[in-house]
Amino acid sequence: MNIVSFSGGKDSTAMLLMMLEKGIPIDRVICVDTTKEFPAMYEHIKKVQTMVEPLQIEIVKIDFDYWFGEHIKTKGKRKGEKGYGFPDFRNRWCTSLKREAVKKIQQTISEEFIQFHGIAFDEKERTLKNKDRNIQYPLVEWEITEKQALEYCYSKGLDWGGLYEKFHRVSCWCCPLSRIGELRVLYTDFPDLWKELQEMDKKSFRKFRSDYSVADLTKKFANGI
């Protein structure tokens, strides 16, 4: 069984469409939704779905808001307190939730399977940690770079509503690990999302970033800094 991990980003999108073009059998396509993707990303996923039919993209949702601010910690220094707050380099709990969601699906599969991950050729070092697992990286095998993957998607009429013209990576809009320049774009071009981020900042026990809170960034960007 061949299972494609599909995030909706340029690399996994290019991989999925190229696999179909090359006639590589695909049994399942799994997409984990944190519910914090850009609106244009959800439109993109719908568009890709129409392109790959009758193959179905299975969307697994994670309740981000629950884990962010409502879940009661059962152990550790914050036992009894609410929420994980914003993730950081040491605690990427959102990434762990994605992996757990996929793992649960895999545990229901009785036959042997191969996973296909969309990692580009110029990021092939990321594949080393999984070299002994049943994971294949078609873009690495075909020597498709990030730039080539994006250009391929553009050639298919996929443009994410211009997101890749504003952001280097298109992931959760509320990610604290985003570059400052990209957070500035979020502030200027997506005011509704920034307002939601400000509300999240009030609920998180952990500062948005080690160098800035969302309130700090709001003042910084408002002053044109």
Same domain, 113 and 21: yes
Q: What is the pLDDT of residue 7?
A: 96
Q: How many CB atoms lie within 10 A of CB 154?
A: 13
Our CA dihedral for 145, 40, 167, 63, rounded to 10 degrees, sits at -100
Q: What is the pLDDT of residue 113?
A: 94
Tally of domains within the chain: 2
Q: What is the pLDDT of residue 159?
A: 98
Q: What is the pLDDT of residue 48?
A: 98
Domain hosting residue 135, numbered range: 2-165
Same domain, 122 and 21: yes
Judge whether 138 and 114 are in contact, CB under 8 Å: no
Phi-psi region of 172 (alpha: psi -120 to 50; beta: other; left: phi over 0): beta
Same domain, 115 and 189: no
Q: Of 160, 211, 149, nearest to 17 (Cα)?
A: 149
Q: What is the pLDDT of residue 132?
A: 64
Give the span between the Cα atoms of 118 and 140, in whole angstroms: 9
Which of 147, 165, 183 marks a domain boundary? 165
Which of 165, 188, 217 marks a domain boundary? 165
Give the span between the Cα atoms of 74 and 93, in whole angstroms: 15
Give the span between the Cα atoms of 208 and 175, in whole angstroms: 9
For residue 106, the one-letter residue type is Q
Give the span between the Cα atoms of 34 and 72, in whole angstroms: 19
Same domain, 64 and 7: yes
Mean pLDDT (10-residue bins), the chain, 225 residues? 96 98 97 96 98 95 91 81 87 91 91 95 89 88 98 98 96 95 98 97 92 96 91
Q: Tell me, what DSSP letter sits at residue 123?
A: G
Q: What is the pLDDT of residue 66?
A: 92
Judge whether 52 and 44 are in contact, CB under 8 Å: no
Contacts for 166 with CB less than 8 Å, ≥ 6 apart: 182, 185, 189
The answer to whether the predicted template modeling score (pTM) of the entire model surpasses 0.75 is yes
Q: What is the pLDDT of residue 118?
A: 97
